[in-house]
Chain A
């Protein structure tokens, strides 16, 4: 057994920042056991029977919401989806009131996505249910980083010492923040590359290397993680045009040759083909993008399972 931790310390999963390396290994090891469930003829186990999980998605999401819902259903939990549009939120209800009303219906866990960083933490302090952060603003997206780590470990056999280059819109990405926390805790080497306008100041303090060209980032990389250009989050134009972005930072098969042999290409989705990644790479032999999606279900099952059980007392 690789992990030494046998349980998570907290009732919630708010971010990777609060996790120890042992807890991260525990989640990844547990996810390996869950992957097999999705390959059975009957893809369902009775583990969370009778538990109510509310998926509170106050911001658009397809992949994450669907992935959580499949994970919950495969564990036999009862699920309820609540989104901002068409709900009391549109009538002006505050998040706290919404959450307290949902809590009055006694859910065991709440999966929340919200545009404001810290909203999951606020609910976690307020409510007895387990809160799982499914993305809060540009802060954290812990299950995405966990499924990325699971995919890297599956393909390369380890996390420690692996060279991971993350390229794209660093400034607006919660995925990158969770990934930096996770990868540095697990002793991987992280390199970031983006146009200067999309790189937060002083991000080197998180223990990463910053470069400003794609070729420099690709040199020696074992893992190339492309981030989506978040057109909806750009308040002002941070680069001249999408075509120029593709020419400077878009990943093509020719440029990928600079990476190490056997390097894998990842993308948290949704992809903008022809902006940050060419179709030849996205659909090519190095791409593990769809494996990430498959692994996401196993990782989320592991998180739900570990949070549903008894908890160790925090010392």
Chain B
């Protein structure tokens, strides 16, 4: 894969995540009953940062959940190699909470479909909202984000690579050609 364009540098990426955090609190009229939930793998560090920004702005530590959707994928028997299964974790019951799902790139919507199924096996939230750092289009399911960092129109032959300090050693978003 070769790089075509740098979509976001570290500073813009940081601002985008901070804005998502503020929008989430604003739209929900506060932090009460919120559970910020990162979808593995890169949704998790983004969710951690959102929790940190909310803490800074509101002085409240919102619970952070981690959701692994591997077991709910619809393409398991066709993909090789198998993705590694890691545990999901919630610090509290999600019953009657407002769960904000955090993902790095919203594309076909299949990851979010799997995440909704996975989430409901943990309980019945009052509402589920979706925040995506990048929305690149090409949805295959009727799913849309409630909070979007950046909308970036792409071609199917392109790949969006989100790099984060926590997982990749640096912050940037790249547009790659397959």
A42 to B71, CA, bound (A): 14
Partner of A40, one of B72, B80, B84, B121: B121
Q: Interface size on B (CB < 8 Å)?
A: 22
Complex: chain A residue closest to B72, CB-CB: A46
- Asked if B85 and A312 make an inter-chain contact with CB atoms under 8 angstroms apart, the answer reads no
Q: How many A-B residue pairs have CB under 8 A?
A: 68
A37 to B86, CA, bound (A): 10
Task: List 5 contacting pairs A-B, 8 Å CB cutoff, sorted by A.
Answer: A36-B88, A45-B71, A75-B71, A310-B77, A310-B81
Cross-chain contact of B84 among A1, A35, A37 (Cβ < 8 A): A1
Q: How does the 8 Å CB contact mask read for A51-81 relative to B, with 1 for contact and 0 for none?
A: 1000000000000000000000001000000
- Measured CA separation A160–B122 after assembly (Å): 36
Q: Which residues of the partner chain A approach B70 to less than 8 Å between Cβ atoms?
A: 33
The answer, among B77, B117, B118, for a CB contact under 8 Å with A309, is B77
In order of increasing CB-CB distance, the 7 nearest A-B pairs are: A310-B80, A33-B85, A6-B81, A7-B81, A36-B87, A309-B82, A45-B71
Nearest chain B residue, comparing its CB with the CB of A31 = B85
In the bound complex, residues from chain B placing their C-beta under 8 Å from that of A75 are: 71
Give B residues with C-beta under 8 Å from A.
68, 70-72, 76-82, 84-89, 117-118, 121-123
Chain A residues within 8 Å of B, Cβ to Cβ: 1, 3, 6-7, 26, 29-30, 32-37, 40-42, 44-47, 51, 75, 302, 305-306, 308-312
List A contacts of B87 (CB < 8 A). 32-33, 35-36
Majority SS at the chain B contact face: loop
Closest residue of chain B to A75 (Cβ to Cβ) is B71
Q: Across the two chains, which residue of chain A brings its CB closest to B117?
A: A46
Given contacts A45-B121, A46-B72, contact A310 B78 (CB under 8 A): yes
Question: Distance (Å) between the CB of A84 and the closest chain B CB?
Answer: 31
